[in-house]
């Protein structure tokens, strides 16, 4: 893994060392305080650039164009909310998506299947273990955003989301987030409405650099990616792990997310 990861700085391969425990402790603290941790220079920059270059053709010819209008919940309605409640404001999202079966042989899949990576992530999240998905499409996704494309405000379905930026745009494409906007017990619809009407002063912006690993508590942290500007697409990979082995999407979930099933 030394060939693709900066293991001198982030010793994921040495889980019984003090350095590993210190790193996990810092990540846990950041997750607690900010709902997020970022490891810059996690994947070597030249590997990230090589992965992006290798996928360019597949993106151009075989990617799924993910284009939709949605609210922050990705739901048609919420029983407690009037249809015109500002928390249900609709936004536009657009990107190109590649699935795991379209990036076979990539460093991304090698990383995904490397047990010390899942072990490290589980430790930072305080979970006993994390498992790779069995789903041939969902396990690893790569999203590309051209000029004007964006991922709009949403909450994730999983508690944690793990991303690795492969290519940064010239401008725009920033990750904007509002930590703990809601909790599992309190949907805070009025707070959601304040965020969506631009009245929340606790929104933070993170400009990731290529090779950076970003882990955040996406289920209750509202987040979006602002529109990309310029000719260089923003390319980012998302790794999906679960607290149990063997997870697969249903056929209709696959079609909803990727326009096809496998
Ligand atoms: O592209 C990003 O930085 C965030 C991705 C994200 O929020 C998601 O995949 O749910
Ligand atoms: Fe997300």
Give the tens place of pLDDT for each residue, 155-179.
998 889 999 999 999 999 999 999 9
Q: What pLDDT score does 256 carry?
A: 87
Ligand 1 nearest atom to the CA of residue 141, by list position: 9
Query: How far is residue 114's CA from residue 196's CA, in Å, rounded to a whole number?
Result: 39
Ligand 1 nearest-atom number relative to CA 208? 3
- For residue 109, tell me if it sits in a domain: yes
Number of domains in the chain: 1
d(CA 253, CA 238): 17
**Tell me, what's the pLDDT at 29?**
98
How large is the average pLDDT for residues 235-248? 96
Which ligand 1 atom is the nearest neighbour of the CA of 224?
A: 7
Nearest alpha-carbon partner for 172 in 118, 112, 233, 130: 233
Residue 1 lies in a domain: no
Q: Assess whether the C-beta atom of 156 lies below 6 angstroms from ligand 1.
A: yes
In a domain, residue 166? The reply is yes
Does a structural domain hold residue 235? yes
Phi, psi (degrees; rounded to nearest 5) at 151: -105, 120
Report which of 162, 261, 159, 176 is spatially closest to residue 220, judged by C-alpha positions.
Answer: 159
At CA 34, angle to CA 173 and CA 36, rounded to 5? 55
CATH number at residue 100: 2.60.120.620
Q: What is the pLDDT of residues 11-63, one digit of tens each?
A: 999 999 999 999 999 999 999 999 999 999 999 999 999 999 999 999 999 99
DSSP 233: P
pLDDT tens-digit map of 97-106 = 999 999 999 9
- Ligand 2 centroid to Cα of residue 116, in Å, is 24
Instruction: State yes or no: ipTM above 0.95.
Output: yes
Whether 70 is in a domain gets the answer yes
Question: What pLDDT shows up at residue 14?
Answer: 98
> Does ligand 1 have an atom closer than 6 angstroms to the CB of 236?
yes
Is position 13 within any domain?
A: no
> Quick check: 7 and 47 in contact, CB under 8 A?
no
Ligand 1 atom nearest residue 143's Cα: 1
Pairwise CA distance, residues 257 & 252, whole Å: 9
> Is 222 inside a domain boundary?
yes
Query: Is the CB–ligand 1 distance for residue 216 below 6 Å?
Result: no
CA distances from residue 58 to 80, 148, 215 in whole angstroms, order as listed: 43, 21, 26
Q: Give a yes or no: residue 5 inside a domain.
A: no
Hey, how many other C-beta atoms are within 10 angstroms of the C-beta on 183? 10
Any atom of ligand 1 within 6 Å of the Cβ of 161:
yes
- Three-class SS state of 90: coil
User: Residue 188 sits in which domain range?
Assistant: 18-258
Q: Which amino acid residue places its CA nearest to atom 10 of ligand 1?
A: 156
- Cβ of 144 closer than 6 Å to ligand 1, yes or no, is no
pLDDT tens string 181-231: 999 999 999 999 999 999 999 999 999 999 999 999 999 999 999 999 999
Residue 80 has pLDDT above 90, yes or no: no
């Amino acid at each position: 893994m030394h060939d693709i990861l900066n293991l001198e700085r982030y010793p994921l391969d040495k889980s019984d060392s003090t350095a590993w425990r210190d790193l996990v402790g810092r990540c846990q603290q950041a997750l607690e305080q900010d709902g997020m941790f970022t490891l810059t220079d996690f994947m070597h920059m030249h590997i990230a650039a090589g992965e992006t270059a290798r996928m360019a053709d597949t993106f151009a010819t075989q990617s799924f164009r993910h284009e939709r209008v949605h609210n922050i919940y990705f739901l048609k309605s919420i029983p407690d909310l009037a249809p015109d409640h500002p928390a249900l404001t609709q936004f536009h999202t657009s990107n190109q998506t590649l699935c795991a079966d379209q990036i076979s042989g990539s460093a991304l899949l090698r990383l995904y299947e490397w047990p010390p990576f899942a072990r490290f992530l589980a430790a930072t999240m305080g979970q006993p273990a994390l498992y790779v998905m069995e789903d041939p499409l969902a396990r690893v996704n790569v999203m590309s955003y051209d000029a004007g494309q964006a991922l709009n405000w949403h909450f994730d379905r999983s508690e944690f989301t793990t991303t690795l930026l492969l290519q940064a745009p010239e401008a725009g494409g920033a990750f904007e987030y509002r930590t703990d906007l809601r909790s599992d017990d309190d949907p805070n619809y009025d707070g959601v409405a304040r965020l969506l009407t631009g009245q929340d002063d606790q929104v933070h912006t993170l400009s990731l650099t290529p090779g950076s690993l970003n882990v955040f508590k996406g289920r209750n942290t509202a987040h979006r990616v602002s529109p990309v500007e310029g000719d260089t697409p923003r390319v980012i990979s998302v790794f999906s792990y679960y607290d149990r082995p063997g997870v697969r999407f249903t056929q209709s979930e696959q079609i909803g997310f990727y326009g096809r099933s496998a």
